[in-house]
Chain A
Amino acid sequence: MSDAALPEPRRRSALGRLARRPLALLGLAIISVTVVSAIAAPWIAPFGRDEQLFEGLTLEGAPMPPGGPFLLGTDLLGRDLLTRILYGARTSLVIGVVANGLALLIGTLVGVTAGYFRGWLGSLLMRFTDLMMAFPALLLAICLAAIFTPSLWIVALVIALVNWVQVARVLYTETTSLAERDFIAAERAIGAGHGRILWLHILPHLVPTIIVWGTLGISTTVLLEATLSFLGIGVQPPEPSWGNIIFENQTYFQAAPWLVFFPGMAILLMALAFNLVGDALRDVLDPTQRGRG
């Protein structure tokens, strides 16, 4: 090891560095458009949310393909698909952000506590996690949904209670190895308390993993919500969500592919956007990656 000074790299604020990444900006743009259209749905949607339009069906009673007054076509009941997707963004955003965020929170809490303290508390928490993992997620969700009356927020809670398990497992492993590192021993030697070590010296190192799981979780939670809706215990019709639009219409996939294609694209774009932003955030927040782009 040498004693010589290394050259001084250029610095920018975290936001400034994020703004220099075109892919991150693209992701941010997609997310902003989704959020704005979810909020502004009543004003920008061409039709009413549940309005069954007479001209939305052909003379045979089949849905209209994209084009004309119906930009993305209509569904089996003659409702405008674009309108449904715009309103559906509300549900899916709430599920994607709230349910997923809650799952991350529970998973982080359990995984980090178990990984840092180990001992009987750690064993107890991890055995409980294993139990949750072995239990079929869907069955659990159905049980929970049966106990509570279905509503958007209950669905979000149910999804969070099912989805935290993987996060906890992954963070547990990472925390155990982090807790063995020299700098944690050094922190303990200067008298740092558990709270300080966990908050300032363990959590920041877990951020990349949390971000990756968070962005991956967006699409899984949106689809889990769709599954629940399909089983009649998710968001209740006629309230639209991207997931239940797909499930309502999937049997007509061959006759009317747009009914599955457009909401599917919406889910894909949102997951992609969160992934792009998450990737960029992970790099930007890591001080050892600075000055490399």
Chain B
Amino acid sequence: MTLAEAPKVRADAAPAETVLSVDGLTVSVATETGLRPLVQDISFALKRGETLAIAGESGSGKSITSLAVMGLLPANVRATTGAVRLAGTDLLRLPEARMRAIRGDRVAMIFQEPMTSLNPVMTVGAQLVEAIQAHEPLTRREAQARALGALKSVRLSEPERRLRQFPHELSGGMRQRVMIAMAIALRPDVLIADEPTTALDVTVQREVLDLLRDLRREMGTAIILITHDMGVVAEMADRVIVMKDGRVVEEGPAIRIFDAPREAYTQTLLAAVPRMGERPAEEPPPPRPSVCVLRDLTVHFDVGRGLLGRATHRVHAVEGVSLEVRQGETFALVGESGCGKSTIAKTIAGLVPFAGEIEIAGRKLHSQADITRAVRRDAQIVFQDPAAALDPRMRVGDLVAEPLVIHGIGTPPERHATVEALFERVGLSRAQIGRYPHEFSGGQRQRICIARALVLRPKLIVADESVSALDVSVQARVLQLLKELRDELGVSFLFISHDMAVVDAFADRVAVMFLGQIMEMGTRAQVFGNPHHSYTRRLIEAVPIPDPGHVRPSRERLASEVPSPVRRRDDPPRRLLLRDVGGGHLVAEAGPG
């Protein structure tokens, strides 16, 4: 039995029926100085079969709103006024025992990170059965049948085998499908999805979004989708609520919000969203000398312990990559998680052993030991998470000056002057030099990391997902800063990202990676305008388009295992040959993908 035939389904019921309504909800956190509101006066109504998107940047209160509906607020946070009505019952007034019965059964939730939401020591089947039996008086056999049906309805390949597997045996996308299966197994009236695809790769995101849309159609479940990604909003939502600083800025049908946003904040938010194909084609710059050349770069890690402690398997993180970054250009490496793009960044930074050749500013390097201080002066790296990349116990001024100290450049007053000038250049004030990293916001911290990378005046900056963790409006400003720096200082960027729209807006040349090898490489116009490789096309098609009018052909695909870069030691992968299809546009032969 599939869920579509289940008796509780009423997809054809009256469309105007309201399942959940929130009236004047205010949520406050208890602080030493009294109650401080996190979310103020939120009201909305959710109809059966409708998808409502709550969009906003970090700190807008969108997650707090969903937690309040679920009754899962942290201990020092509570709903002070308002009501959350599910079919007439005010959930805020229910005792915890009654709320527990409703949670999961009538209102279910999917979280952002599927790995941490599943219990690692229980099989998928056991967790599903436990969740089902907690709410319905079914026998074990009946609950197992229901669990299998749920796995089938989320289109997992080999559902019988999945029941016996543990979470770590599944890929990220499959785990998120298990979470969705767990949420819909009890056929809830309302499904709250809090950033359900943010941790997933773009092709997997595509599949999960398709799945959610199908489930809504088949089962009539109302969905509250919480996301910062306006592309996802446009693809999924019937209605949109835009939140900022705990208040509703604008509410309306998705088409109206995207086509004619009324509020200034919504307009700037939409303007900051990077879009594929928006940037006009440019004249290719004249050939300039190269700053960084990789020749047949190969990075392997041995894993697994066999008899006698010998490694049995090998991770082929980077497998014979050759590319060239020219002076003053931005070369982008795109690909999904595990494709080896970050390993290349770490290799250039001298953090991993490698084989092959790296040439930086004319110096040819053949092993990790060749990456000396002098080389590092020319090639700097900016990491993804600025909060993790700055030592929390040092003042930011000292952190930015540290490369100068290490390389023995300048006297203390000279260094101080350099740091002050750089602070102003990256958009921070001199007065902030004496502060600690935790006193800054995410965007400001990334500016500090950029200043730190710039202080040695390098020829190449490797930006490893450097804008991925930032809100879109902040992301747009940081990208603008990087562009200015590139043009003013002539510094080259090796820009590593999974976000195709950002790459399209920022890069001059692009290489697409998959399983440690380059699938396609050329100018931005060549790769994105005229993709030859099937993998490149799949990546581009998967990018959510921030336009609700855009119609996407629906395809049904089973989620199965993705090929892995971990192979037996005696079984190396096949090296793919790159073929020039004209004008330096290189495409790999049909490969492992």
- With A190-B380, A190-B403 as given contacts, are A205 and B349 in contact (CB-CB < 8 Å)? no
Nearest A residue to B474 via CB reads: A3
* Contact call B394/A288, Cβ cutoff below 8 A: no
Tell me, in angstroms, the Cα distance from A243 to B251 when the chains sit together. 74
- With A2-B441, A191-B406, A192-B402 as given contacts, are A186 and B392 in contact (CB-CB < 8 Å)? no
* Contact call A3/B390, Cβ cutoff below 8 A: no
Contact partner of B436 among A185, A201, A287, CB < 8 A? A287
Asked whether B590 is an interface residue with its Cβ less than 8 Å from the other chain, the reply is no
Task: Write the B417-450 contact mask toward A (1 if CB under 8 angstroms, else 0).
Answer: 0000000000000000001101111111100010
Asked whether B210 is an interface residue with its Cβ less than 8 Å from the other chain, the reply is no
Give, as a whole number of angstroms, the nearest-CB distance from B537 to chain A.
32
Give, as a whole number of angstroms, the nearest-CB distance from B32 to chain A.
9
Tell me, in angstroms, the Cα distance from A245 to B67 when the chains sit together. 61
Asked whether A15 is an interface residue with its Cβ less than 8 Å from the other chain, the reply is no
- Size band of the interface chain A makes with B: 20 to 34
Chain A hits for B376, CB < 8 A: 189-191
Give, as a whole number of angstroms, the nearest-CB distance from B462 to chain A.
9
Tell me, in angstroms, the Cα distance from A193 to B383 when the chains sit together. 20
* Contact call B407/A191, Cβ cutoff below 8 A: yes
Contact partner of A2 among B58, B385, B438, B439, CB < 8 A? B58
* Contact call A1/B391, Cβ cutoff below 8 A: no
Chain A hits for B470, CB < 8 A: 1, 3
Chain B hits for A193, CB < 8 A: 406
Tell me, in angstroms, the Cα distance from A254 to B377 when the chains sit together. 74
Asked whether B59 is an interface residue with its Cβ less than 8 Å from the other chain, the reply is yes
Tell me, in angstroms, the Cα distance from A181 to B389 when the chains sit together. 8
* Contact call A288/B349, Cβ cutoff below 8 A: no
Chain B interface residue count, CB cutoff 8 Å, equals 44
* Contact call B393/A189, Cβ cutoff below 8 A: no
Nearest B residue to A9 via CB reads: B439
* Contact call B389/A186, Cβ cutoff below 8 A: yes
Q: Which of B373-423 contact A (CB under 8 A)?
A: 373, 376-377, 380-381, 383, 385, 388-394, 402-403, 406-407
* Contact call B438/A189, Cβ cutoff below 8 A: no
Chain B hits for A286, CB < 8 A: 393
* Contact call A200/B441, Cβ cutoff below 8 A: no
Asked whether B509 is an interface residue with its Cβ less than 8 Å from the other chain, the reply is no
Chain B hits for A205, CB < 8 A: 393
Task: Write the A265-293 contact mask toward B (1 if CB under 8 angstroms, else 0).
Answer: 00000000000000000000011101000
Asked whether A59 is an interface residue with its Cβ less than 8 Å from the other chain, the reply is no
Nearest B residue to A1 via CB reads: B442
Q: Which of A1-54 contact B (CB under 8 A)?
A: 1-6, 8-9
Asked whether B483 is an interface residue with its Cβ less than 8 Å from the other chain, the reply is no
Asked whether B157 is an interface residue with its Cβ less than 8 Å from the other chain, the reply is no
Chain A hits for B383, CB < 8 A: 182, 185-186
Asked whether B175 is an interface residue with its Cβ less than 8 Å from the other chain, the reply is no
Tell me, in angstroms, the Cα distance from A187 to B405 when the chains sit together. 12
* Contact call A183/B377, Cβ cutoff below 8 A: no
Q: Which of A183-215 contact B (CB under 8 A)?
A: 183, 185-193, 196, 200-201, 204-205
Asked whether B155 is an interface residue with its Cβ less than 8 Å from the other chain, the reply is no
- With A185-B383, A188-B351, A287-B438 as given contacts, are A1 and B469 in contact (CB-CB < 8 Å)? yes
Nearest B residue to A205 via CB reads: B393
Give, as a whole number of angstroms, the nearest-CB distance from A123 to chain B.
12
Nearest A residue to B440 via CB reads: A6
- With A1-B470, A3-B443, A9-B439 as given contacts, are A188 and B391 in contact (CB-CB < 8 Å)? no
Asked whether B346 is an interface residue with its Cβ less than 8 Å from the other chain, the reply is yes
Asked whether B188 is an interface residue with its Cβ less than 8 Å from the other chain, the reply is no
Tell me, in angstroms, the Cα distance from A8 to B429 when the chains sit together. 13
Asked whether B350 is an interface residue with its Cβ less than 8 Å from the other chain, the reply is yes
Asked whether B499 is an interface residue with its Cβ less than 8 Å from the other chain, the reply is no
Among A9, A188, A191, A288, the most chain B Cβ lie within 10 Å of the Cβ of A191
Among A2, A205, A287, A288, the most chain B Cβ lie within 10 Å of the Cβ of A2
Nearest B residue to A190 via CB reads: B403
Asked whether B477 is an interface residue with its Cβ less than 8 Å from the other chain, the reply is yes
- Interface residues, chain B, with chain A CB atoms under 8 Å away: 57-59, 346, 349-351, 373, 376-377, 380-381, 383, 385, 388-394, 402-403, 406-407, 435-436, 438-445, 449, 452, 456, 469-471, 473-474, 477
The list of the 8 closest CB pairs from A to B, nearest first, reads A1-B442, A3-B443, A182-B388, A189-B349, A191-B373, A191-B376, A287-B436, A3-B474
Known contacts A3-B441, A189-B376, A191-B406; can you find 12 more A-B pairs with CB under 8 A?
A1-B443, A1-B445, A2-B57, A2-B59, A5-B441, A183-B389, A185-B346, A190-B402, A190-B406, A192-B406, A200-B394, A288-B392
